[in-house]
Amino acid sequence: MMLEGRVAVVTGGGRGIGRETALLFASEGARVVVSDLGGAVGGGGSDASVAQSVVDEIKAAGGEAVANGADVATMAGAKSVIDNAMDSYGRVDALVNGAGILRTGKVDEIGEDLWDEVMRVNLKSVFAMTHYAAPRMKQQRTGSIIAISSASGFGHYGMSAYITTKEGLVAFTRGIARELGEYGIRANAIRPCAETRMLLPDVVEDMNYVINELGLSRLLPRSRSRPRSRWSSTISYTSGVPSTGSERFGG
């Protein structure tokens, strides 16, 4: 158990890469706050059982975890998640910002509401969570904050809103790395290309259109998708909270 005594908060922890990350952290002894609104991939709706099911799985394996179903794209929701961690476990060692939605559409066809909602969930949530986690980590003089960007940030057809948020996360991470580094807090962003529910049929259709109809395969990332479990190991390694066999990474 390499993570005994550590506490990790994982937003978007109920599904996909977030779920695999929460399970991996717990398997290494970390106590985990699984944060997930349980909404649809394009936003909307909520389901408390999404986060709770991961907590149940962690507990069944002998680990410790609590669920939080708040909307982390609101300041009150983000605060409740960090408060949940502090009330339950007394500290926050790692924050993995994985909450996000995906909506597609060409730039001249999407509306303001779509654009604003993608920005709210994918970008504001990361600011809000970091805003409340950072003071706790400063007090501890240690911590790790990871943003889940995306390989799509290099450019995808019909995804201007989504890719804007994912590149925004990279810039945000560079900024907070400079601000928080003196307190022993690491900040990193990763760009996964993974097999998750965000590979929607309409996204795949857009990709095929770019390749087959327009002949513009160069607009798509060349990296192959990796299983979600592979990316959870990358997140663990990057956080400086290593999985078994990893060396400590301080980025």
64-82 pLDDT, tens per residue? 999 999 999 999 999 999 9
| pLDDT confidence band for 211 (50 / 70 / 90) | very low
Tokens 């290593």 -> residue: 242
The rounded percent of the chain whose pLDDT value lies above 90 is 67
H or E element, residue 168: helix 160-180
Quick check: 91 pLDDT over 80? yes
pLDDT of amino acid 152: 80
Q: Give the integer Cα–Cα distance in Å for 117 and 42.
A: 10
| pLDDT confidence band for 2 (50 / 70 / 90) | confident
Q: Which two tokens stand for residue 49?
A: 């059982």
Three-class SS state of 207: helix
Read off the pLDDT of residues 215-232 as tens digits, 9 standing for 90 and up. 444 444 444 444 545 545
pLDDT of amino acid 217: 47
Quick check: 205 pLDDT over 80? no
Is 205 or 193 the better-scoring residue by pLDDT? 193
Say if residue 96 is exposed, middle or buried (CB neighbours under 10 Å; 0-12, 13-18, 19+).
buried
Do 121 and 100 meet the contact criterion of CB atoms below 8 Å apart? yes
Q: What is the CATH number of domain 7-238?
A: 3.40.50.720
Do 92 and 136 meet the contact criterion of CB atoms below 8 Å apart? yes
pLDDT of amino acid 24: 93
Is 42 or 212 the better-scoring residue by pLDDT? 42
Q: Give the integer Cα–Cα distance in Å for 63 and 65.
A: 7
Is 162 a known active-site residue?
yes
Do 55 and 45 meet the contact criterion of CB atoms below 8 Å apart? no
Q: Give the integer Cα–Cα distance in Å for 108 and 206.
A: 16
Measured CA angle at 249 (ends 187, 243), to 5 deg: 105
Quick check: 9 pLDDT over 50? yes
Quick check: 214 pLDDT over 50? no
Residue among 157, 162, 183, 209 flagged as catalytic: 162
Read off the pLDDT of residues 132-188 as tens digits, 9 standing for 90 and up. 999 999 999 999 999 999 888 777 778 899 999 999 999 999 999 999 999 999 999
| pLDDT confidence band for 240 (50 / 70 / 90) | low
Taking all residues of the chain, what is their mean pLDDT, rounded to a whole number? 84
Is 25 or 224 the better-scoring residue by pLDDT? 25
